[in-house]
Structure 1
Amino acid sequence: MVHQLSRPFDAENDILLGEAGGRVEITWYVDYTCPHTRRIRDVLRRSPARFGRDGASVAVRFILPHDDEDGAAFAARAACAAHRQGRFMDMHRALFDVPPSYSTDKVEELARDLDLDLDRFRADMEDADAKLEADRNSLGDTSDLHMPLLFIDGRFYEGAWDETSLIEAIERPLGVRLSLAGNDFFHWAASAGLVLILATLAALVVANIGWHDAYEELRETDFTLMFGARSFALPLEMWVNDGLMALFFLLVGIEIKREFVFGELSDRDRAIMPIIGALGGMIVPALLYTAVNYGGEAAHGWGVPMATDIAFTLGIMALLGNKVPTSLKVFVSALAIADDLGAILVIAVFYGEGFHLTQFLIACGVTGVMAVLAIGRVYNRMPYILLGVVLWYFIHESGLHATLAGVITAAVLPSRRPADGRSVAMQAAAIVDGEEDTENMNDSAVRRLQNAVDRLREPGFHLQEALEAYSNFIILPLFAFFNTGLLIIGSSFSPFAPESLGVMLGLYIGKPLGIVGIVWLATKLGIARLSSEISWVQMIGAGFLAGVGFTMSIFISSAAFEGGQLESVKLAVLITSTAAAITGSLILWFAPKIGGKAE
Structure 2
Amino acid sequence: MAHDLECTYDPDRDIVLEGGGEVEIIWYVDYTCRHTRRIRDIIRRSPKRFGEQSTATVVRFIMPEEGDRGAELAARAAIAAERQGKFADMHRLLFEQPPQYTQEGLENLARHLSLDLYQFRDDMRAEATDEKLAFDRNALGDTSDLHMPLIFIDGRFYGGAWDEDAIIDAIERPLGVRISLAGEDFFHWAASAGLVLILATLAALVVANVGWHDSYEQFRETDFALSFGEHSFALPLEMWINDGLMALFFLLVGIEIKREIIFGELSEWDRAILPIIGAVGGMVVPALVYVGINFGGEYIHGWGVPMATDIAFTLGIMALLGSKVPTSLKVFVSALAIADDLGAIMVIALFYGEGFHLQPFFLALAVMAVMAALNWGRVWNRMPYMFLGVVLWYYIHESGLHATLAGVITAAMLPSRRPADGRSVAAQAAAIVEGEDEPAKMGDTAVRRLQNAVERLREPGFHLQEALEAYSNYLILPLFAFFNTGLLIIGSSFSPLAPESLGVMLGLLIGKPLGIVGIVWIATKLGFARLSSEISWLQMIGAGFLAGVGFTMSIFISSAAFEGGELESVKLAVLLASTCAAVAGSAILWFAPKIGANGTG
Fold-level match, TM-score > 0.5?
yes
Correspondence for 1:24: 23
Correspondence for 2:402: 401
Contact kept, 8 Å, 1:530 with 1:598, in 2: the verdict is no
Q: 1:313 to 1:63 in 2, by over 3 A?
A: same
Correspondence for 2:434: 433
Correspondence for 2:488: 487
C-alpha deviation, 1:141, in angstroms? 1.6
Contact kept, 8 Å, 2:6 with 2:152, in 1: the verdict is no
C-alpha deviation, 1:357, in angstroms? 0.5
Cα distance in 1 for residues equivalent to 2:573 and 2:174: 47
Correspondence for 2:84: 85
Correspondence for 1:203: 204
Correspondence for 2:309: 308
Cα distance in 2 for residues equivalent to 1:4 and 1:373: 39
C-alpha deviation, 1:175, in angstroms? 0.9
Contact kept, 8 Å, 1:251 with 1:410, in 2: the verdict is yes
Cα distance in 1 for residues equivalent to 2:600 and 2:250: 34
The 5 A counterparts of 1:532-547 are 532-547=533-548
Deviates more, 1:448-457 or 1:434-443: 434-443
Correspondence for 1:39: 38
Cα distance in 1 for residues equivalent to 2:99 and 2:138: 24
Cα distance in 1 for residues equivalent to 2:561 and 2:600: 38
The 5 A counterparts of 1:491-510 are 491-510=492-511
The 5 A counterparts of 1:315-464 are 315-464=316-465
Contact kept, 8 Å, 2:46 with 2:167, in 1: the verdict is no
Correspondence for 2:561: 560
Name the SS for the 1:320 alignment partner: helix
Q: Aligned pair count?
A: 598
Deviates more, 1:548-557 or 1:437-446: 437-446
Cα distance in 2 for residues equivalent to 1:156 and 1:467: 25
C-alpha deviation, 1:70, in angstroms? 6.0
Q: Deviations over 1:493-542 (max 9, x none)?
A: 00011100000010000000000000000000000001000000000000
Cα distance in 2 for residues equivalent to 1:6 and 1:96: 26
Cα distance in 2 for residues equivalent to 1:178 and 1:362: 46
Contact kept, 8 Å, 1:5 with 1:138, in 2: the verdict is no
Contact kept, 8 Å, 1:531 with 1:598, in 2: the verdict is no
Is 2:62 aligned against 1:63? yes
Is 2:108 aligned against 1:109? yes
RMSD of equivalent CA atoms: 1.3
1:35 is aligned with what amino acid? R
Name the SS for the 2:19 alignment partner: coil
Correspondence for 1:168: 169
2:214 is aligned with what amino acid? D
Contact kept, 8 Å, 1:70 with 1:100, in 2: the verdict is no
C-alpha deviation, 1:2, in angstroms? 5.9
Cα distance in 1 for residues equivalent to 2:111 and 2:430: 38
Q: 1:156 to 1:558 in 2, by over 3 A?
A: same
Cα distance in 1 for residues equivalent to 2:232 and 2:600: 59
2:58 is aligned with what amino acid? A
Name the SS for the 1:595 alignment partner: helix
Cα distance in 1 for residues equivalent to 2:47 and 2:174: 18
Contact kept, 8 Å, 1:2 with 1:155, in 2: the verdict is no
Correspondence for 2:15: 15
2:221 is aligned with what amino acid? E
Deviates more, 1:327-336 or 1:36-45: 36-45
C-alpha deviation, 1:594, in angstroms? 1.8
Deviates more, 1:349-358 or 1:125-134: 125-134
C-alpha deviation, 1:573, in angstroms? 0.1
C-alpha deviation, 1:5, in angstroms? 5.2
Cα distance in 2 for residues equivalent to 1:266 and 1:5: 31
Q: 1:542 to 1:4 in 2, by over 3 A?
A: closer
Cα distance in 1 for residues equivalent to 2:359 and 2:220: 30
Contact kept, 8 Å, 1:77 with 1:125, in 2: the verdict is yes
Cα distance in 2 for residues equivalent to 1:314 and 1:451: 34
Cα distance in 1 for residues equivalent to 2:3 and 2:501: 45
Contact kept, 8 Å, 1:71 with 1:101, in 2: the verdict is yes
Cα distance in 1 for residues equivalent to 2:493 and 2:143: 56
2:544 is aligned with what amino acid? G
Contact kept, 8 Å, 1:26 with 1:151, in 2: the verdict is yes
Percent identical among aligned pairs is: 77
Name the SS for the 2:207 alignment partner: helix
Name the SS for the 1:147 alignment partner: coil
Name the SS for the 2:524 alignment partner: helix
Contact kept, 8 Å, 1:223 with 1:234, in 2: the verdict is yes
Cα distance in 2 for residues equivalent to 1:570 and 1:233: 26
Name the SS for the 2:225 alignment partner: strand
Cα distance in 2 for residues equivalent to 1:470 and 1:48: 37
2:47 is aligned with what amino acid? P
C-alpha deviation, 1:8, in angstroms? 1.1
Q: 1:6 to 1:246 in 2, by over 3 A?
A: closer
1:586 is aligned with what amino acid? A
C-alpha deviation, 1:211, in angstroms? 0.2
Name the SS for the 1:493 alignment partner: coil
Contact kept, 8 Å, 1:207 with 1:486, in 2: the verdict is yes
Contact kept, 8 Å, 2:2 with 2:146, in 1: the verdict is no
Correspondence for 1:123: 122
Name the SS for the 1:189 alignment partner: coil
2:568 is aligned with what amino acid? E
Name the SS for the 2:140 alignment partner: coil
Cα distance in 1 for residues equivalent to 2:495 and 2:306: 17
Cα distance in 2 for residues equivalent to 1:476 and 1:567: 19
2:383 is aligned with what amino acid? M
C-alpha deviation, 1:10, in angstroms? 2.0
Contact kept, 8 Å, 2:3 with 2:159, in 1: the verdict is no
Contact kept, 8 Å, 2:28 with 2:62, in 1: the verdict is yes
C-alpha deviation, 1:144, in angstroms? 2.1
1:209 is aligned with what amino acid? V
Contact kept, 8 Å, 1:2 with 1:184, in 2: the verdict is no
C-alpha deviation, 1:569, in angstroms? 0.2
Correspondence for 1:475: 476
C-alpha deviation, 1:13, in angstroms? 2.4
Name the SS for the 1:16 alignment partner: strand
Q: Deviations over 1:249-297 (max 9, x none)?
A: 0000000000000000101111000000000000000000000111111
Q: Deviations over 1:288-324 (max 9, x none)?
A: 0000111111000000000000000000000000000
Cα distance in 1 for residues equivalent to 2:547 and 2:78: 54
Cα distance in 2 for residues equivalent to 1:592 and 1:370: 50
Q: Deviations over 1:370-399 (max 9, x none)?
A: 011011110000000000000000000000
Contact kept, 8 Å, 1:18 with 1:48, in 2: the verdict is no
2:164 is aligned with what amino acid? E
C-alpha deviation, 1:4, in angstroms? 5.2
Cα distance in 1 for residues equivalent to 2:34 and 2:265: 36
Contact kept, 8 Å, 1:534 with 1:598, in 2: the verdict is no
Cα distance in 1 for residues equivalent to 2:184 and 2:549: 26
Contact kept, 8 Å, 1:310 with 1:336, in 2: the verdict is yes
Contact kept, 8 Å, 1:366 with 1:390, in 2: the verdict is yes
Runs of 4+ in 1 over 6 A off after TM superposition: 596-599
Q: 1:362 to 1:372 in 2, by over 3 A?
A: same
Cα distance in 2 for residues equivalent to 1:301 and 1:121: 79
Cα distance in 2 for residues equivalent to 1:51 and 1:85: 30
Contact kept, 8 Å, 1:301 with 1:499, in 2: the verdict is yes
Cα distance in 2 for residues equivalent to 1:347 and 1:338: 14
1:352 is aligned with what amino acid? G
Name the SS for the 1:138 alignment partner: helix
C-alpha deviation, 1:68, in angstroms? 3.1
Cα distance in 1 for residues equivalent to 2:532 and 2:487: 42
Correspondence for 1:72: 71
